[in-house]
Structure 1
Amino acid sequence: MAEQKQPLLIKRYASRRLYNTETSDYVTLEDIAGFIREGREVQIVDLKSGDDLTRQYLLQIIAEHESRGESVLPVDVLNDLVRSYMTPGASVVPQFLQASFEMLRDGQSQMMDKMNAMNPMAKMPGFELMQAQQEAFMKAMTGGMGGAAGTGWGGQADTEKTAGDAAEGEDLDAIKKQLAELQDKLSRLK
């Protein structure tokens, strides 16, 4: 596994402005969401008190995305989360969620590793760029969640196909065709 980087330190000033300590500039919640989508961990602290505000701001990012209709969490899951906060004693929900997301990340990582190991083009010039494009494509297709496109949480193929699925299939076919053309061009370069 790749070496873990230090979290990106964001300081919140009394004016509630957020300051990126690496680039020495102010950032927005959307910028912070972008850092996280790119795989970067963040830590947000209050400059004056030193309090860790990371959880508060991450929840705010999720709430803003949900309010814009970018729903990821089904209402049932949100209800269960609220219940877990209201249940006396220790709840298993946080440990379950953490283990689930770790399993999801590991599965995505293993899938990408297997795809790379099976690829005989790995030693060709320009492969790293093509590999980065493939990874970006996989993230886009899976919504950054690590699940395979067209499958449910249990890994079973969805039985009902929508018009959107058909369009995605056509897009995938076009990408496969482009990849085959690139492979053909690369083989001719030898």
Structure 2
Amino acid sequence: MADKDQPLLIKRYASRRLYNTETSDYVTLEDIAGFIRDGREVKVVDLKSGDDLTRQYLLQIIAEHEGRGENVLPIAVLTDLVRSYTTSAQSVVPQFLQMSFDMLREGQSKMMQNITSMPNPMLPMSGLEAMKRQQQAFLSSMIPGWPGASAGQGGEEKPAQGETELADIKRQLADLQAKLSKLNEPD
């Protein structure tokens, strides 16, 4: 029986065929996407060199879905991602994306809890608005001039709350940077 806490190891052969080491059979990109949708972490490595190819294959899965018209990423997001590779924002974008997806997962979990426990599941979800404000505050503080970073902010009551959220985000970012620095220190 396979350990579901460990990433599923997929080996890529020289023929570019992908081999599932747990079930001892060949798999497709769509199979890998299914494993991920089912909540499984996946690691793809080149059999000969041992290189980690996971990022390459995940990007390929996304490109294939987008190419089939299953558009999840708006053009503006794709444009901003391309832009981030050529700006000083490059160093902050991965952290921002990770924090955004973490907040999204947490928000989805809370939303499901609220739906199952509330008498009227059609009531507005205030957590989504808070997440949007937090993301905008993060972008505004970390990437001055980022297109759309300050959109949606304003009003008289929001700056006080936004400042608190911004301080929270800055603290979290400083913690992340400290952890990264410790990881990069020689033993």
Question: TM over 0.5, yes or no?
Answer: yes
2:82 aligns with 82
**What is the CA–CA distance in structure 1 between the aligned matches of 2:55 and 2:61, rounded to whole Å?**
10
Structure 1 gaps, min length 5: 120-147, 157-190
1:39 aligns with 39
**What is the CA–CA distance in structure 1 between the aligned matches of 2:89 and 2:129, rounded to whole Å?**
33
Displacement after TM superposition at 1:51 (Å):
0.2
RMSD: 3.0
1:49 aligns with 49
Displacement after TM superposition at 1:91 (Å):
2.5
Displacement after TM superposition at 1:89 (Å):
7.0
Aligned sequence identity (%): 75
1:174 aligns with none
Structure 2 gaps, min length 5: 131-187
1:176 aligns with none
Q: How does 1:1-190 map to 2 (within 5 A)?
A: 5-88=5-88, 90-113=90-113, 118=117, 154-155=128-129
Match of 2:85, SS state, is helix
**What is the CA–CA distance in structure 2 between the aligned matches of 1:81 and 1:91, rounded to whole Å?**
12
Deviations 1:122-162 (A, max 9, x none): xxxxxxxxxxxxxxxxxxxxxxxxxx9x98x9449xxxxxx
Q: TM-score, normalised by structure 2?
A: 0.59
**What is the CA–CA distance in structure 2 between the aligned matches of 1:30 and 1:106, rounded to whole Å?**
26
| Number of aligned positions between the proteins | 124
Match of 2:109, SS state, is helix
Q: TM-score, normalised by structure 1?
A: 0.58
1:65–1:89: structure 2 CA closer, same or farther, 3 Å change rule? closer
Displacement after TM superposition at 1:106 (Å):
1.5
**What is the CA–CA distance in structure 2 between the aligned matches of 1:89 and 1:115, rounded to whole Å?**
37
